[in-house]
Chain A
């Protein structure tokens, strides 16, 4: 099974700052036949279900603000929020869909300082 490990577990940033969340997979999730990284990012606000932000490691879901971006390849990935807004307070999860079981990272809690 592929294990997804996020860092840090929590993050406290000021409004307008750049926030970076890392996600590492225990094996490559880059499929050589299509050169795609099978990684998604979700945002979960308190009391709400998760919401898809990014898929294929860097493709932004429709309606997601462009301050959210994803990068990385192979086993190392990053979610970046370019300028933190108050409404970005949430827990962020990465998920691999390269192979079943489709595992999630443990989550990164983002707070405003």
Chain B
């Protein structure tokens, strides 16, 4: 059974710092990995999706990397801003099989950027 872990559960950093969020998964046979952002009381918004054949994806100040063989992904946030404060979740997806679109989520890292 796939298990996804995100450590630490919470992180506080001063504004302007670069930071890294971690995600690890137990079964390396994944199709892709996604990073989501969740604001308090809101749903999830997809930030980046990395296919299993890719090593990284970038969007603005965000860069996500994937090392499938070691079961790890990182989300790098450059020049952090107070608006980046949110909970960040990663989720992995197995290879497509009819009807099997299940994502396995980590428990998230709650990020606070201190002004």
Answer yes or no: do A and B interact.
no
Interface residues of A (CB under 8 A from B): none
Interface residues of B (CB under 8 A from A): none
